[in-house]
Structure 1
Amino acid sequence: MEKILEVKDLNISFHTFAGEVKAIRGVDFDLYKGETLAIVGESGSGKSVTTKSIMRLLPPGNSEIKGGQMLFNGKDLAKLSDKQMQKIRGKDISMIFQDPMTSLNPTIKIGKQIMEPIVRHQNMSKSAAKERAIELLRLVGIPQPEKRFEQYPHQFSGGMRQRVVIAIALACNPKVLIADEPTTALDVTIQAQILELMKDLQKKIDTSIIFITHDLGVVANVADRVAVMYGGKIVEIGTVDEIFYNPQHPYTWGLISSMPSLDAKDEELYAIPGTPPNLLHPPKGDAFAPRNQYAMQIDLEEQPPMFKVSDTHYAATWLLHPDAPKVEPPEAVKRRMRQFPAGKEVK
Structure 2
Amino acid sequence: MENILEVKDLTISFHTFSGEVQAIRGVDFELKKGETLAIVGESGSGKSVTTKSIMRLLPPGNSEIKRGEILFNGKDLAKLSDKSMQKIRGKEISMIFQDPMTSLNPTMKIGKQIMEPIIKHQNMSKAEAKERAMDLLRLVGIPNAEERFGQYPHQFSGGMRQRVVIAIALACNPKVLIADEPTTALDVTIQAQILELMKDLQKKIDTSIIFITHDLGVVANVADRVAVMYGGKIVEIGTVDEIFYNPKHPYTWGLISSMPSLDSKDDELYAIPGTPPNLLHPPIGDAFAPRNEYAMQIDLEEQPPMFKVSETHYAATWLLHPDAPKVEPPLAVKKRMDQFQTWQEVK
TM-score range, shorter chain: over 0.9
Count of aligned pairs between the two proteins: 347
Q: Distance in 1 between matches of 2:156 and 2:5?
A: 34
Counterpart check, 1:310 vs 2:310: yes
Q: How does 1:242-253 map to 2 (within 5 A)?
A: 242-253=242-253
* Structure 1 residue runs of 4 or more that deviate by more than 6 Å after TM superposition: none
Q: Could you tell me how far apart the structure 1 residues matched to 2:283 and 2:19 are?
A: 15
The answer to whether structure 1 residue 15 and structure 2 residue 15 are counterparts is: yes
Change (3 A) 1:346 1:310: farther
Contact preservation (8 Å) 1:25, 1:233: yes
1:246-261 → structure 2 map (5 Å cutoff): 246-261=246-261
What displacement does 1:190 show?
Answer: 0.2
User: C-alpha deviations, 1:119-168, integer Å up to 9, x for none?
Assistant: 00000000000000000000000000011000000000000000000000
Displacement after TM superposition at 1:330 (Å): 0.4
1:274 and 2:283 aligned: no
Distance 2:272 2:266 in 1: 19
Q: Confirm whether residue 178 of structure 1 aligns to residue 147 of structure 2.
A: no
RMSD: 1.3
TM-score by length of 2: 0.98
Alpha-carbon distance between aligned partners in 2 of 1:135 and 1:14, rounded to the nearest angstrom: 41
Aligned amino acid, residue 338 of structure 2:
R
Task: Give the TM-score normalised by structure 1.
Answer: 0.98
Q: In structure 1, what residue type is equivalent to 2:31?
A: L
Q: Distance in 2 between matches of 1:277 and 1:2?
A: 35
Question: 1:344 Cα deviation (Å)?
Answer: 4.8
Does residue 24 (structure 1) correspond to residue 27 (structure 2)? The answer is no
- Aligned mates of 1:192, 1:343 — CA distance in 2: 15
- The CA deviation at 1:266 is 6.0
| Secondary structure at the counterpart of residue 270 of structure 1 | coil
The residue number in structure 2 matching 1:194 is: 194
Please say if residues 238 and 313 of structure 1, whose CA atoms lie closer than 8 Å, have aligned partners that are also in contact: yes
- 2:164 is paired with a residue whose SS is helix
Contact 1:340-1:346 within 8 A present in 2 as well? no
8 Å contact kept, 1:221–1:346 = no
SS of 2:341's partner is coil
Q: Secondary structure at the match of 1:262?
A: coil
* CA distance in 2 between partners of 1:147 and 1:188 (Å): 27
> Which amino acid counterpart does residue 47 of structure 1 have in structure 2?
K
User: Given residue 63 of structure 1, which amino acid in structure 2 is its aligned partner?
Assistant: S
Q: CA deviation at 1:261?
A: 1.9
Matched residue type, 1:176: V
d(CA) in 1 for partners of 2:316, 2:346: 23
C-alpha distance in 2 between matches for 1:335 and 1:344: 14
Does the aligned pair in 2 maintain the 1:220–1:346 contact within 8 Å? Answer: no
Preserved CA contact (<8 Å) 1:36 1:225:
yes
Displacement of 1:262: 2.0
Task: Measure, in 2, the Cα distance between the counterparts of 1:248 and 1:288.
Answer: 14
Runs of 5+ unmatched residues, structure 1 = none
Query: How far did residue 268 of structure 1 move?
Result: 1.5
Change (3 A) 1:122 1:64: same
Task: Give 1:301 deviation, angstroms.
Answer: 0.2
Alignment of 1:1-347 (within 5 A): 1-265=1-265, 268-341=268-341, 344=344
The one-character-per-residue Cα deviations of 1:200-259 (angstroms, maximum 9, x if unpaired) are 000000000000000000000000000000000000000000000000000000000000
Q: Percent identity?
A: 90
